[in-house]
Amino acid sequence: MGKCEGRCTLLVICSLQLVAALQRQVFDFLGYQWAPILANFLHIMAVILGMFGTVQFRFRYLIFYAVWLVLWVGWNSFIICFYLEVGNLSQDRDFLMTFNTSLHRSWWMEHGPGCQVTPVLDSRMAPDDHHVITVSGCLLDYQYIEVLSSAIQILLALFGFVYACYVSKVFQDDEDSFDFIGGFDSYGYQPPQKSSHLQLQPLYTAG
């Protein structure tokens, strides 16, 4: 019963992670955020692998999924620090999310709740193929939307890590127990054979 509850809970967590990652992937595509797009793709693959391992009782897949979640927590922690400009990080100077290939920002910068975008015409600050805008009236700035999204990812990853370790431990214990009773013995159980001490003697006939 406990194993079933752990598996079902882990599948629910993986499903929530998959939905949250797909939603995030859509908005990162809209904002041309290439680094998060790549990270999201790897995360989606790892979550699918974790779900497969949970359904198919493959504890090694769950271990890989758990290790990836540690990296995922680190990545989302970096995103939080980036948007809050912790330390020397600066959104105005560092365009890490686009691999320094463009000046695009988060999609939420212009499309956040309540945001009003006003283009600045004839601005000398705009590089080629770009335009300058002013954003006002946002109920929640885009930085905090990105931080909230990363915080949700970290929370789901922590729950997923705990349950992945628990379920993989249960799978491994069951496999060891099955090995002990000969469940995986491809040759099957063979009873010991009695050794014969009967010696053959030559037979002589009168000719």
User: For the segment 7-24, what is each residue's pLDDT rounded down to a tens digit?
Assistant: 899 999 999 999 999 999
Q: Which of 29, 49, 17 lies closest to 155 in space, CA to CA? A: 17
Tell me the domain boundaries of the chain.
4-103+141-177
Extended strands (E) in 29-175 = 116-120, 132-136
Higher pLDDT, 146 or 190: 146
Mean of the per-residue pLDDT values of the chain: 80
Evaluate if residue 121 carries a pLDDT over 70: no
In the predicted structure, residue 204 carries a pLDDT above the cut 50: yes
CA–CA gap between residue 103 and residue 137 (Å, rounded): 23
Integer CA distances (angstroms), 22 to 66, 75, 77, 176, 192, in order: 19, 17, 19, 37, 59
Cα 15 from Cα 74, distance rounded (Å): 21
Q: How much is the pLDDT for 1? A: 47
In angstroms, what CA-CA distances link 189 with 50, 175, 178, 180, 194? 35, 18, 14, 12, 16
pLDDT digits (tens, 9 = 90+) for 53-63: 999 888 889 99
Give, in degrees to the nearest 5, the angle at Cα 59 between 21 and 38: 25
In the predicted structure, residue 184 carries a pLDDT above the cut 50: no
Residue 144 burial (CB count, 10 A): 15
Most trustworthy range by pLDDT among 3-12, 152-161, 180-189: 152-161
